Amino acid sequence: MSISQILLSLPSFPDVAPEQVLEGACALTRILGGRLTAQIPQLSGDQATWPAVMGTFLLDFQQLMNEAVVQSEANAATMSAALIKLCSESKLNLDLRRCLTTLHASNEDMVDLARLHDLVVLPAPESPGFEHSAIQAAIFDTGRPVVLLPSHRKSLQSLDRLVVAWDYSREAARALSDAMPLLASAKQVHVISVFGEKGIHTTSTVSDFDRFLAVHNIKYVRHQETLKSTSIGEFLMQYAMDLNADMLVMGAYGHSRLREFVLGGATRGILGDPLLPVFLSR
């Protein structure tokens, strides 16, 4: 299956997405020969949609909200203009969706639209202690693979060298399958299995894995490493960087607790501060 419809979702508040993220999304779309949908929600100026506030803080809150609405609109306009320019220069088909949202809105609009696309692209969080509901919603609710683009780390300019994290799990298998269009276009594919963080259990053989990729015309280099003093997320990220990879492909791990998904250690470690673009699937 090809990746033809790509959704880029860009928050407009509190900050504007860096140019590097916009350029990376356009580069990914161009490499895959796809079409780009950009969803840019901005804060609504309708006070009826604002959070309820009581007491003397009300007037200050209204001023803060008005300033936030103005900033959000300006950020949305900046990103829209930049995307139109980038897509025009690269001759990409762009479907620009600007819409209104509220301060504590759910991610329903993004999730619903993502389900009618092949891939979701989001800016990566900028701090290790992030709380980013949109990323978790994209990973666990859309049923689609997700690419996170760092804002101030390695930019996405090509997909020549990819690193795939492989531990024979359901999540890793899903990521491997979803990433096939990317692997097919890569010049080098490195598959890494890390032992020591958890047991790797399988009744299949290396020959089975070789045969699967060979059927899809994927040539690869196998790596087997043992985890020692660092976390699995940090290890995978640094390993990919040492190989000068353009992207890390891995399964997104997590479990449900009271109808909320809790990220697994590897996924949480990767998302905290990704050093390069990451392809996640669950």
pLDDT value at position 260?
45
Compute the C-alpha angle 92/72/51, nearest 5°.
130
Strand partners, 262: 255
Which whole-number Å values give the CA distances from 44 to 123, 134, 258, in the listed order? 22, 18, 31
Region 5-149: CATH code: 3.40.50.620
pLDDT value at position 244?
96
pLDDT band at 165 (very low <50, low <70, confident <90, very high): very high
Token readout for 51 is 């959070």
Which of 203, 136, 180 lies closest to 32 in space, CA to CA? 180
What are the residue boundaries of the structural domains of the chain, listed by start? Answer: 5-149, 161-281
pLDDT band at 127 (very low <50, low <70, confident <90, very high): low
pLDDT value at position 262?
46
The predicted-structure confidence for 253-266, as pLDDT tens digits, reads as follows 764 543 444 445 55
Contact 39, 76 (CB under 8 A): no
CA distance 157 to 59: 47
Q: What is the mean pLDDT of residues 226-248?
A: 89
CA distance 222 to 83: 38
pTM for the full predicted model = 0.89
Do the domains 5-149 and 161-281 sit in the same CATH topology, yes or no? Answer: yes
Contact 277, 147 (CB under 8 A): yes
- Taking each continuous run of H as one helix and of E as one strand, the counts in the chain are 9, 12
Q: What is the mean pLDDT of residues 195-215?
A: 82
Beta strands in 44-93 (DSSP E): none
pLDDT value at position 27?
96
Place of tokens 């963080």: 197
DSSP-derived letter for residue 214 is H
CATH-assigned architecture of domain 161-281: 3-Layer(aba) Sandwich (3.40)
Token readout for 224 is 């087997």
The predicted-structure confidence for 37-75, as pLDDT tens digits, reads as follows 999 999 888 887 877 766 556 668 788 888 889 999 999
Whether the predicted pLDDT of 111 surpasses 50: yes
Lowest mean pLDDT segment, chosen from 129-133, 235-239, 246-250: 129-133
